[in-house]
């Protein structure tokens, strides 16, 4: 039977949509032209799928909700039907000792561990499950897990709970594990965003299945195939940045014309994430449709990027007809359309438009030593 006539392995998803989703995942993980078939085969080999345990530590449950409420084709369909989700406090039926039994058994069977939420280092007792503290659970079960994936900015870096003065001492799971009395070389795959995105999780799990190893990670423990470009690199408002067309204040003419948010605090030039690529709400919209990027996929962004509505320093912005974009403001409206068109053509021809890098100047991804490493 031709592949496209076989039934879909995912309930509620047509074979056509299943293959389409497989192609999307294959593109996301960089699996090459034959990748879609491999991805589809991997998903269909359901019995070989990893067992997944999902823990909730110090968080708001927003990542779980974002995952479960995603629209078709849904990561939730894949995770709940095709991946053996052995334990998730928010979504599972068992409770009490039965739940604890599922948790332990799953690790005995070789589970991957997805963690949502941070570790409260200063007040360990603020998060306790079954009489054990979150930090102790992390240290006890890390060695038993086949791989550990931190989903959402809380689990990766502490997020809002880590905002100064950080009363609970919130830490990302990887940093906690590698801390005093921990596991020095602990490797955690970080999938930050607030909330975490189901596609990032499914793509990472599929990557592990198809490639047989953990993905290459950047300096912050994020898979390079997902976090290799800045928001600025892939932003639909980038042409306006290059043209020096900026929103000066919310609700102004620039806002109505959907110009660039840089001057009202957009952190896109310094933020690595695939938000423009896999988006939200059935992949139809993302933050930049509504306002500036806050940089939520970056370590310590609440502290480092505050105040959130101030422009990032040291980002070179284009000069238009000798006038810096920092200074032109709405005076830009006076620049003739012919002049702007000529400028844009010049940018495109020179290759400057859509050039990569955190500063929009062609710098590459900030690779440092791998913090969260390769395969365990
Ligand atoms: S990353 Fe955001 S949505 Fe997810 S648990 Fe933390 S605060 Fe909630
Ligand atoms: S500064 Fe922000 S809004 Fe402007 S192009 Fe970059 S990412 Fe997009």
Q: Is 95 exposed, middle or buried (0-12, 13-18, 19+ CB in 10 A)?
A: exposed
- C-alpha pair distances (Å), 119 with each of 59, 233, 290: 9, 32, 32
Residue range 153-177, pLDDT digits in tens: 999 999 999 999 999 999 999 999 9
User: Rounded to whole angstroms, how far apart are CA atoms 320 and 312?
Assistant: 20
Total length of the chain: 376
Q: Which ligand is nearest to the CA of 65?
A: 1
Q: State phi, psi for 54 to the nearest 5 degrees.
A: -120, 120
Find the 142 Cα to ligand 1 centroid distance in Å.
21
Find the 239 Cα to ligand 2 centroid distance in Å.
9
State which residues of the chain have pLDDT below 70.
1-5, 10-12, 32-34, 43-49, 69-83, 319-376
DSSP state of 128: E
Protein residues whose CB sits closer than 6 Å to any atom of ligand 2: 231-232, 235, 237-238, 241, 260-262, 266, 268-269, 288, 293
User: Rounded to whole angstroms, how far apart are CA atoms 292 and 12?
Assistant: 35
The answer to whether 103 and 87 have CB atoms below 8 angstroms apart is yes
pTM of the full structure: 0.79
Question: Which mutation among 239, 257, 271, 293 tests ligand 2's pocket best, with the greatest number of atoms within 8 A of CB?
Answer: 293
- pLDDT at res. 235: 98
- pLDDT at res. 237: 98
User: Rounded to whole angstroms, how far apart are CA atoms 141 and 104?
Assistant: 9
Task: Provide Rg for the chain, Cα atoms.
Answer: 22
- pLDDT at res. 316: 86
- pLDDT at res. 370: 41
Q: Which ligand 1 atom lies nearest to the CA of residue 65?
A: 3
User: Rounded to whole angstroms, how far apart are CA atoms 242 and 269?
Assistant: 12
The residue among 245, 241, 264 whose CA lies nearest residue 253 is 245
- pLDDT at res. 351: 29
- pLDDT at res. 229: 96
């Amino acid at each position: 039977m031709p592949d496209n006539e076989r039934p879909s392995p995912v309930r509620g998803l047509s074979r056509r949509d299943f293959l389409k989703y497989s192609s999307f995942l294959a593109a996301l993980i960089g699996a090459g032209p034959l990748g879609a078939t491999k991805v589809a085969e991997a998903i269909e080999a359901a019995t070989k799928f990893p067992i997944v345990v999902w823990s909730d530590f110090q968080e708001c449950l927003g990542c779980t909700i974002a995952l479960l409420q995603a629209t078709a084709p849904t990561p939730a369909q894949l995770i709940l039907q095709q991946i053996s989700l052995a334990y998730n406090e928010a979504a599972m039926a068992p409770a009490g000792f039965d739940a604890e039994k599922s948790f332990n058994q799953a690790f005995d069977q070789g589970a991957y561990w997805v963690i949502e939420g941070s570790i409260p280092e200063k007040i360990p007792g603020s998060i306790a499950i079954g009489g054990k503290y979150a930090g102790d659970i992390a240290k006890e079960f890390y060695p038993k897990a086949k791989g550990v994936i931190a989903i959402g900015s809380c689990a990766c870096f502490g997020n809002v709970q880590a905002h100064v003065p950080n009363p609970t001492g919130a830490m990302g799971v990887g940093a906690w594990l590698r801390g005093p009395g921990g596991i020095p070389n602990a490797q955690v795959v970080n999938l930050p965003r607030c909330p975490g995105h189901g596609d990032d999780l499914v793509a990472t799990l599929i990557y592990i299945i198809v490639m047989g190893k953990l993905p290459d990670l950047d300096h912050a423990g994020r898979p390079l195939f997902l976090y290799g470009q800045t928001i600025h690199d892939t932003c639909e408002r980038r042409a306006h940045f290059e043209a020096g067309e900026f929103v000066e204040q919310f609700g102004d003419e620039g806002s109505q014309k959907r110009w660039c948010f840089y001057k009202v605090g957009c952190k896109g030039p310094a933020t690595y994430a695939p938000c423009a690529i896999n988006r939200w709400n059935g992949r139809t919209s993302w933050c930049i449709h509504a306002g500036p990027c806050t940089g939520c996929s970056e370590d310590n962004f609440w502290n480092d990027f505050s105040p959130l509505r101030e422009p990032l320093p040291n980002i070179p912005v284009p000069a238009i007809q000798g006038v810096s974009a920092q200074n032109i403001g709405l005076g830009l409206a006076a620049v003739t359309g012919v002049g702007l068109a000529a400028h844009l053509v010049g940018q495109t021809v020179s290759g400057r438009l859509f050039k990569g890098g955190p500063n929009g100047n062609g710098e590459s991804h900030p690779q440092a030593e791998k913090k969260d490493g390769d395969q365990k």
